[in-house]
Each structure stands twice: as structure tokens, then as C-alpha cells.
């Protein structure tokens, strides 16, 4: 979930040359936030996030809160879907209509969603090895392409831009993982979740930080910030003799597979939420309608790079309210309720 | 994978572009010459397409009209820009390359000196069949000989867009009917402002730590003497003392004796002589830098920017004046570390 956001991370995240420092420091924000996400699930055993909202806010307010979350995750789905379909069209399939790319992505996500959360989780267990292997490989062979001069001066404009960059990276992909953590009500052993959250956040911060650093060292500061997909461009320059060239094709394929996992998690969350409201247990029809609907909305409204990346700047601010403020309130009320109960 | 069908191409249908030459046309139009290769009977069939347009992209579109096939730019090895074209600024072309998903960022950019870029491209190749690939090989081998640094597009853009450094590109000339890499073209921002000849380009490679091998010859001492360049390490340090900016050049070069009949007992004396000679060459190069203050091809501004980041904001405004009146010290330490396969030079019997 976290690392698959890597390919779409742009270069202009507010911190300029020091974005890699922001990417490492984001752990400070992400770990407590994830614990806040998980706290209500831990406190109310055998309840999912929508049931918990009903318990702590009452039915009417709980419905509104759940609806806000569903709409937010829907927005995250739309943005992620657009980001990847536009990525494929821009870098590889220029003459293919974006709708065709979207249709095949929709079919794949529906299939993953219908297979269920466990299948998606097991699939991602395989994909993570591929991603890490590719990342390590590209780092090793990039040694002849990097220019260490690009790193300096560090903290040119002070620490403030680093914090700005930290919040930008925190918004995407870290806050977007709300949907995944909310589905942890399905896991067998909830006690292991905090450890999993810390370890995965540290690993992803390392991977994303190193990727930012690699982009900067290869492309330089200005180009890293100009490119929509700096990771793709940086990897395209890495060659190992005359045999290993243009590795960005394999890397982008791997990241696309990872994105399918990401989109599947968002759709499972939305499907579960809508099913809860409609008091249904039917998964297939609901998810098919949701994925097709959101996929088409995504392509219609955010069908090119300018639209997507202009919207992302605004979107990163929008999701702070539902994905930071509301979970904090929910966790606080859960804490009070638990204390009252005891 | 299925969604990729719309972009499907048969290899036989591709018109592969190996090189592009860009010249300044009449009324500020852009003239291009595209070298294309088709495979016929397992052999490359090279042809050249000429087109013109208000912009580079329009010129390419006009070129496509004549082929009947879309041009496939992913294998373009070099882009040659004429001197006249580059003097008007090349940022539009650089942006086009960065915007395009077809052109490769590791393509080599070369400046054609005193000749049309299309003439360079269409001149007869020496060994290869395809001119573009031969020019790429010539630049690469020249780089391995430390004759000229290779500058792929992404490195040049990094230079142009970075704080306190100006870009440079290899230049190519037509001597008789032979193409030859003859040094580098110097830029101020994205405008070509001057040239540096071969003898100084090697010194530039030493100062920029771009030495990858090759031979260096000193002819100022008793008799010409050649060395194989084993390694070179240059440290340029800026200092601000009493409000004055000063640079110290510390150059360490390791050499292997390649051609001279000197006795090994004389090596110490030779080292002293080549230290003097190299110092003199660096001094001459710095004089050229002072004569071209708009082109900070040594990246002196970048060094100041990195060391004195706070002071840079007011230094940058008048940095051209600093270069014009550049103050510096040069410390050269050449060390002869080997003499090839023989322990003493051979000499004829009396």
C-alpha cells in the first residue's frame, strides 16, 4: 500500500532538494497517526469501523461520519486510479485511448476485490519482494549514473521546507492507508497490528526516502521537481553495460501490479461501507458498480496529467480534515467511552 | 497488456531515427535533417529526411509526411545543433526533449562549429554505415581518452538549471571531409557564447575530475614527452577573506610514462618540469575563463554557492565581475607512478 505510491510521487513536494529528508522524517507523523487509526478497532473487539462509528457517535452521527470516510476513500480511489491510468498513457501507450486502459484496470481491480481481502493480502506478500528486489537492483547499478554534487547544499532554506515536504508525503501515500488499517478488524490477531504498522512504516519511509535520494542524485534538483514521474525518468537512465537498459519498463509494470492491490483495498473498504448501510452481505454486485462508477468518474474528470497533478495539490489539503481530524476525534471518544465503561 | 494493442507496431514498419541535426532556417524557422535506418535484407539502409518548421515539433511532423511512416525516436543516439542555432538559445529544444516520452535523456548533444549540423550528419562515415552511431562512438571514445567530456541531455540540463554553473557541450567540426571532435562549446544559460579548443579541453577534464584515461603530452620542456593519464583529482576551494573571493586549485595527477627516452634518474626533474607546464596550462585556461565571464564553465559559482550559501544571494548578482577579476592559487602535484613494461629505457649501442 505504502510503497506502491512511490511511482506516482512527484518531485515538487515542497522541500525541494531536501525532500528525501522529509521522506525519512515522515515516520514521526505516520506511526502515531496509524496508532490513532487502529485504536478504536483495538478497543471494540469484533466490530468493524462502521459499527464502531454507530456505537460511539450514535446511529445518525455515526452514519454521517461513515459516509464522510466512504466519500474520502472514494476520492482517494479516484485520484489513485487517475494517477496510474494517466501514467500508463503518458509514458507508454500514447495512442491508446485512456478509456481502454481504464477498462482493463477496472476488470483487474474487480477481480481482486471479488477474490477478497485475504487474497489481495497474500498477493501483495509476493509483490513486495519484486518491488524491493527491483529497487535494490536499480540502486546498485545506479552507482555510475549518480552525481553526489546534486545533494548539496543540504537544508538551504532551513528546516521549514522539510516540514512542508513531510506533510505533503504524509498526505499521500501515508494518509491514504487509512482504508487498509480500517480493514484490520478482519485480522485474526489484533495484538500484532501495532508492530506491523511500525515496521511497515519504517520500511516504506526508507524505501521512499532512498528513492527520492536516487532521483535527486541522478536527475539533479530542477529536473526532479519538474518531472511528473521522476522515479520513472531516473530509472530510465540507469544502465548496466549495454545489456541492462531501459529497466523502467519492468519497474513500472511491477508498480502497476502494486497499484492494483492499492485500488482493491480502497474498493473493499467502500464496498463494506455501502453494504453496512444497505444491510447487505452481497460483495460482487456492489463492488462491480462501485469500481466501474469510480473508474469512469476518474477518467472523465482527471483524464490527463495537468488535471491530475493540479488536483493532487488541492487533494492533499482536502484529505487532512477527514483523515487526520476525524480519526483523532474518534480515537478520543473511544478512549473516553472505554474509561467510562471501566 | 491487452490495452497496449493500439500502440502496437511491427518492427519492420518502424522508421528508426539514429540522429537528428538542427539548423537555423530562414526567418527564424528550424531546419532539421533526420537520419533514418530501415533494415533491408538484414542490412541497414540509411537515408536522410529534410524538413522545416516554425518549431522543432512542427519540423518533425513535416518530416513524417515525407516518409509515410511514423518516426521512431527511441534509438536516437545524437542530436547535433548548429553553432548559429545554439547562439539563439536551446531551451525550447531541451524542454521538448524532456517533455517527450520518445526521446531518450541519455542522448548525446553536440554542437557543429562553423558548419551546418546537417552537413556534419550527412558527411560520409569513416567505418560505420550509420553516421549517427559513428558520431556517438567518436564522442564516447574521445571521452575515454579524456579529450572531451560526454554530456548527455540530462547532465547538460542539470548544468543549465543548477545554481552557479554554466553548461558545455562537445563540438564537432568538418576538417576536409572528416568529422572531428575539436573541443567544447561554452554556454551562458542556454546560449552558446564561445569555444574551447582541444588542448584546453583536456585541462578542463582534469579540473572537473572527468579524466578517464588517454594520453597527455608536454611539449614545453626539453623534448616532447607523453604520459598515460592514470588518474587525476582536483579540489577547487573558494575562500572569502576580508570580503575578497579567492580560489585554490589543488591538482593531483598520476601519470605513466608513455613516450620519452629519458633516464629514470631524471624523473624527479621531469616531474618538476611537468608540474610547471601543467600549472601554466591551467593558468592559460583560467585566463580564458576570465575572458568569458558570462560562462562559468568551471562551476566556480556552484562551489561558492555550496560553501557560502548565505552569502551567495548577494554574490550571485556580481559573480561575472568576480570571474573577470578572478584571484586564485594553483598547486600542482604530478606524480610519475609507472613506466610501462620496461625497467629502463632502451638506447642504441655506441
SS (H, E, C) chain B: CHHHHHHCCCHHHCEEEEEEEEEECHHHCEEEEEEEEEEECCEEEEEEEEEEECCHHHHHHHHHHHHCCCEEHHHCCEEEEEHHHHHCCCHHHHHHHHHCCCCCCCCEEEEECCCCHHHHHHCCCCCCCCHHHHHHHHHHHHHHCCCCCCCEHHHHHHHHHCCCCCCEEEEEEEECCEEEEEEEEEEECCEEEEEEEHHHHHHHHHHCCCCCCCEEEECCCCCCEEEEEEEEEEEEEEEEECCEEEEEEEEEEEEEEEECCCCHHHHHHHHHHHHHHHHHHHHHHHHHHHHCCCCCCCCHHHHHHHHCHHHHHHHHHHHHHHHHCCCEEEEEEEEEEECCCCCCCCCCCC
Rounded CA-CA distance B8/B308 in Å is 54
Q: Note whether A153 contacts B154, CB cutoff 8 Å.
A: no
B270-329, pLDDT tens digit by residue? 888 888 889 999 999 999 988 888 888 888 888 888 888 888 888 888 888 888 888 889
CB contact under 8 A, B7 and A96: yes
Q: Which residue of B has its CA nearest to A99?
A: B3
CA B239 to chain centre: 29
DSSP code of A144? G
Kindly report the backbone phi and psi dihedral angles of residue B163, in degrees, each rounded to the nearest multiple of 5, phi listed first: -75, 130
Distance in Å, alpha carbon of B154 to nearest chain A alpha carbon: 7
Select from A335, A337, A24, A14 the least CA-distant residue to A174. Answer: A24
**What is the rounded distance in angstroms from the CA atom of residue B257 to the CA atom of residue B245?**
38
Considering only CB atoms, which chain A residues are within 8 Å of B7?
Answer: 92-96
Residues of chain A with C-beta less than 8 angstroms from the C-beta of B305: 153
Dig out the grid coordinates for A277 from the structure.
448501510
In tens digits, chain A (342 residues) has pLDDT values of 777 666 656 655 677 788 888 888 888 888 888 888 888 888 887 788 888 888 888 889 999 999 999 999 999 999 999 988 888 888 888 888 889 889 999 999 998 888 888 888 888 888 888 777 877 888 888 887 888 888 888 887 788 888 888 888 888 888 888 888 888 776 777 777 888 888 888 888 888 888 888 888 988 888 888 888 888 888 888 887 767 777 777 777 777 888 888 899 899 889 888 988 888 777 788 889 999 999 999 999 988 888 888 888 888 888 888 888 999 998 898 888 888 877
Low-confidence residues of chain B: pLDDT under 70: 1-6, 220-222, 261-265
User: pLDDT value at position B176?
Assistant: 83
- B5, B101, B161: residue with CB nearest A220: B161
| Distance spanning both ends of chain A, measured CA to CA | 36
Whole-angstrom distance, CA of residue A256 vs CA of residue A85: 9
The sign of the dihedral angle between the CA atoms of A325, A327, A333, A335 is negative
Alpha helices in A142-177 (DSSP H): 160-169
- Where residue A174 falls (left for φ over 0; alpha for ψ -120 to 50; beta otherwise) is alpha
CB contact under 8 A, B6 and A100: yes
By the 10 Å C-beta count (0-12 exposed, 13-18 middle, 19+ buried), B305 is classed as: buried
In this prediction the pTM is 0.85
State the pLDDT at residue A293. 94
**Are the beta carbons of A222 and B98 separated by less than 8 Å?**
no
In the A/B pair of chains, how many CB contacts fall below 8 A? Answer: 63
**CA–CA min distance A233, chain B (Å):** 8
ipTM metric: 0.81
Please answer whether residues B154 and B106 qualify as being in contact, where contact means their C-beta atoms are separated by less than 8 angstroms.
Answer: yes
pLDDT score, position B265? 67
Closest C-alpha to B304, from A303, A329, A152? A152
Q: Which residue out of A106, A142, A149 would a mutagenesis test of the B interface target, given it has the greatest number of B Cβ atoms within 10 Å?
A: A149
Chain A closest CA to B50's CA: distance in Å? 26
Residue A341 Cα, gap to closest chain B Cα (Å): 55
Rounded to the nearest angstrom, the minimum Cα separation between B308 and chain A is: 10
In this structure, the number of other CB atoms found within 10 A of the CB of residue A125 comes to: 9
Q: Report the residue from B3, B98, B106 with minimal CB separation from A93.
A: B3
Residues 68-107 of A with CB under 8 A from B: 88, 90-97, 100-101, 103-104
Grid cell 494517466 in the structure block, residue = A86
Residue of B nearest to A256 (CA): B1
Torsional class of B189: left (φ above 0), alpha (ψ -120 to 50), beta (otherwise) = left
Amino acid at each position: 500500500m505504502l510503497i506502491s505510491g512511490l511511482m506516482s510521487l512527484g518531485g515538487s513536494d515542497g522541500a525541494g532538494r531536501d525532500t528525501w529528508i522529509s521522506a525519512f522524517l515522515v515516520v514521526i507523523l505516520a506511526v502515531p497517526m496509524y496508532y490513532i487509526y487502529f485504536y478504536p478497532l483495538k478497543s471494540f473487539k469484533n466490530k468493524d469501523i462502521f459499527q464502531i462509528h454507530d456505537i460511539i457517535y450514535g446511529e445518525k452521527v455515526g452514519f454521517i461520519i461513515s459516509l464522510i470516510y466512504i466519500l474520502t476513500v472514494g476520492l482517494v480511489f479516484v485520484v489513485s486510479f487517475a494517477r496510474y491510468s494517466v501514467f500508463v498513457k503518458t509514458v507508454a501507450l500514447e495512442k491508446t485511448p485512456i478509456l481502454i486502459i481504464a477498462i482493463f484496470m477496472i476488470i483487474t481491480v474487480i477481480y481482486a476485490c471479488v477474490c477478497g481481502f485475504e487474497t489481495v493480502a497474500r498477493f501483495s506478500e509476493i509483490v513486495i519482494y519484486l518491488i524491493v528486489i527491483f529497487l535494490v537492483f536499480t540502486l546498485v547499478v545506479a552507482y555510475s549514473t549518480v552525481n553526489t554534487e546534486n545533494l548539496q547544499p543540504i537544508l538551504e532554506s532551513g528546516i521549514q521546507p522539510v516540514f512542508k515536504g513531510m506533510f505533503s508525503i504524509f498526505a499521500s501515500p501515508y494518509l491514504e492507508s487509512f482504508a487498509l488499517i480500517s480493514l484490520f478488524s478482519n485480522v485474526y490477531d489484533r495484538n500484532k497490528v501495532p508492530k506491523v504498522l511500525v515496521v511497515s512504516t519504517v520500511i516504506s519511509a526508507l524505501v521512499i526516502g532512498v528513492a527520492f535520494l536516487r532521483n535527486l542524485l541522478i536527475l539533479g534538483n530542477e529536473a526532479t521537481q519538474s518531472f511528473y514521474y521522476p522515479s520513472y525518468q531516473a530509472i530510465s537512465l540507469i544502465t548496466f553495460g549495454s545489456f541492462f537498459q531501459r529497466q523502467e519498463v519492468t519497474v513500472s509494470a511491477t508498480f502497476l501490479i502494486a497499484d492494483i492491490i492499492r485500488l482493491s483495498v480502497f474498493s473493499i473498504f467502500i464496498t463494506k461501507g455501502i453494504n453496512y448501510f444497505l444491510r447487505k452481505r452481497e460483495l460482487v454486485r456492489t463492488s462491480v458498480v462501485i469500481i466501474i462508477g469510480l473508474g469512469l468518474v476518474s477518467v472523465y474528470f482527471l483524464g490527463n496529467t495537468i488535471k491530475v497533478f493540479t488536483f493532487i495539490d488541492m487533494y492533499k489539503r482536502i484529505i487532512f480534515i477527514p483523515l487526520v481530524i476525524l480519526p483523532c476525534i474518534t480515537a478520543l471518544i473511544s478512549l473516553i467511552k472505554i474509561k467510562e465503561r471501566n | 497488456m491487452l490495452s497496449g494493442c493500439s500502440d502496437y507496431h511491427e518492427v519492420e514498419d518502424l522508421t528508426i531515427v539514429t540522429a537528428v541535426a538542427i539548423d537555423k532556417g530562414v526567418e527564424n524557422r528550424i531546419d532539421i535533417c533526420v537520419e533514418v535506418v530501415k533494415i533491408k535484407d538484414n542490412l541497414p539502409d540509411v537515408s536522410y529526411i529534410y524538413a522545416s518548421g516554425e518549431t522543432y515539433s512542427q519540423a518533425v511532423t513535416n518530416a513524417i509526411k515525407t516518409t509515410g511512416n511514423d518516426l521512431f525516436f527511441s534509438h536516437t543516439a545524437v542530436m547535433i545543433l548548429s553553432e548559429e542555432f545554439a547562439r539563439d538559445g536551446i531551451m525550447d529544444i531541451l524542454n521538448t526533449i524532456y517533455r517527450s516520452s520518445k526521446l531518450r535523456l541519455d542522448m548525446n548533444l553536440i554542437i557543429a562549429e562553423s558548419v551546418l549540423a546537417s552537413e556534419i550528419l550527412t558527411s560520409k562515415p569513416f567505418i560505420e554505415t550509420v553516421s549517427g552511431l559513428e558520431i556517438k562512438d567518436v564522442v564516447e571514445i574521445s571521452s575515454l581518452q579524456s579529450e572531451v567530456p560526454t554530456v548527455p541531455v540530462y547532465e547538460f540540463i542539470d548544468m543549465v538549471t543548477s545554481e552557479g554553473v554554466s553548461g558545455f557541450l562537445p563540438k564537432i567540426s568538418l576538417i576536409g571531409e572528416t568529422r572531428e571532435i575539436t573541443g567544447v562549446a561554452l554556454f551562458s544559460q542556454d546560449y552558446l557564447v564561445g569555444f574551447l579548443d582541444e588542448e584546453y579541453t583536456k585541462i578542463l577534464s582534469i579540473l572537473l575530475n572527468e579524466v578517464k584515461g588517454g594520453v597527455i603530452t608536454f611539449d614545453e620542456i626539453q623534448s616532447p614527452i607523453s604520459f598515460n593519464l592514470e588518474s587525476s583529482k582536483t579540489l577547487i576551494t573558494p575562500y572569502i577573506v576580508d570580503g575578497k573571493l579567492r580560489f585554490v586549485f589543488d591538482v593531483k595527477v598520476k601519470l605513466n610514462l608513455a613516450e620519452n627516452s629519458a633516464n629514470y634518474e631524471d624523473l624527479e626533474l621531469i616531474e618538476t618540469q611537468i608540474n610547471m607546464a601543467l600549472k601554466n596550462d591551467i593558468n592559460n585556461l583560467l585566463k580564458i575563463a576570465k575572458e568569458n565571464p558570462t560562462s562559468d564553465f568551471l562551476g566556480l559559482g556552484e562551489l561558492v554557492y555550496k560553501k557560502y550559501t548565505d552569502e551567495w544571494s548577494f554574490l550571485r548578482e556580481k559573480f561575472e565581475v568576480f570571474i573577470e577579476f578572478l584571484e586564485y592559487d594553483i598547486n600542482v602535484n604530478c606524480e610519475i607512478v609507472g613506466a610501462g613494461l620496461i625497467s629502463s629505457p632502451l638506447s642504441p649501442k655506441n
